[in-house]
Amino acid sequence: MKSVSKRDKRWAILGGTFDPVHIGHLRIAVQLRDLGFEQVLLIPNHVPPHRPQPQASGSQRLAMLELACARLDGICTSSIELERDDLSYSAITVEALHDLYPDVGFTWVMGQDAWQGFEHWHKPGELLDQANLLVISRPGVRNVSHWQEQQLEQRECNIDELLADDAGRICLHHWPELDVSASDLRRAIKQGDNVTFLTPDAVLEYIDQQQLYR
Ligand code: ATP
């Protein structure tokens, strides 16, 4: 695939439920900055009523994210999906972000578990028309479907090639894997376990103050 870049800046997007944000998310965000992304956007999704609901509300999930990245240079939150009442389709989010930031090339970042289900997302091809995809290794997930094999044959690249392109590339990236998830964290809080260092202290204080995950 030939590199054609029309946009000057490189931003990464990590979307998710963030119920709550944890060090797995935050390590990804800081490492994305080290790779060369100028800005990392953490975007909590609006969860539609017919799906399992997060335990924390949209505004609580956003508040926890804001506390978590308050002192992290180049890492910030966006409420763009919470402000929309419809489903949180990533392709629609990136289209809206392109309108707001026409000189930015976006890379949508996801863990390997999310990549497993990516072909069932709403119009995955449309998202790839508008953004690159960076898949981060995560403990315990390894299968590759036929659809994924086909996509990788056409689009797979290394991180430098991904950074040189505006859209359409897929990079599978390995960092030391952190076996931590929001479900584990919720379970541990409910059980009264010590969860220090699994998320920043400011987030733990907020969880305590709001009596979340009890
Ligand atoms: P839950 O346990 O509730 O499903 P989660 O820990 O997977 O939550 P999400 O908010 O759903 O957190 O994740 C947002 C994005 O971050 C997803 O793409 C997910 O794959 C990725 N992610 C979360 N934790 C990790 C981790 N430890 N390593 C790599 N990727 C991760």
pLDDT tens for 53-98 read 899 999 999 999 999 999 999 999 999 999 987 777 899 999 999 9
With a Cβ cut-off of 6 Å, ligand 1 is lined by: 14, 16-19, 24-25, 28, 110-111, 113-114, 136, 138, 178, 180-183
Q: If pLDDT is split at 50, 70 and 90, which confidence band does 52 have?
A: confident
If you compute the radius of gyration of the chain from its CA atoms, what whole number of angstroms results? 17
Q: State both tokens at 99.
A: 């309108």
- The alpha helices in the chain, defined as continuous H runs, are 23-35, 58-69, 80-83, 90-100, 112-116, 124-130, 146-155, 159-164, 182-191, 201-210
Judge whether 67 lies within some domain: yes
pLDDT given for residue 7 in this prediction? 86
CATH label of the domain that carries residue 161: 3.40.50.620
- Which of the two residues, 38 and 5, has the higher pLDDT score? 38
Judge whether 207 lies within some domain: no
Checking if the pLDDT of 166 tops 70, the result is yes
Judge whether 196 lies within some domain: no
| Contact between 14 and 42 (Cβ < 8 Å) | yes
Checking if the pLDDT of 2 tops 70, the result is no
Checking if the pLDDT of 3 tops 70, the result is no
Region 41-47: mean pLDDT is: 93
pLDDT given for residue 144 in this prediction? 81
Ligand 1 mean position to 6 CA, how many Å?
A: 31
How far apart (Å, rounded) are the C-alpha atoms in residues 141 and 123? 23
Q: Domain range spanning residue 82?
A: 9-177
**Range from 46-50, 98-102, 169-173, 176-180 carrying the lowest mean pLDDT:** 46-50
Contacts of 184 (CB under 8 A, 6+ apart): none
Instruction: Report how many domains make up the chain.
Output: 1
Q: What are phi and psi of 48, to 5 degrees?
A: -65, 155
| Contact between 130 and 104 (Cβ < 8 Å) | no
pLDDT given for residue 4 in this prediction? 57
Mean pLDDT of the chain: 93
Q: What residues are paired with 41 via a beta bridge?
A: 13, 76
| Contact between 170 and 133 (Cβ < 8 Å) | yes
Ligand 1 atom nearest 18 alpha carbon: 10
Judge whether 192 lies within some domain: no
Ligand 1 mean position to 101 CA, how many Å?
A: 26
CA-angle at 188, arms to 183 and 194, nearest 5°: 140
Judge whether 128 lies within some domain: yes
Q: If pLDDT is split at 50, 70 and 90, which confidence band does 49 have?
A: low
Judge whether 62 lies within some domain: yes
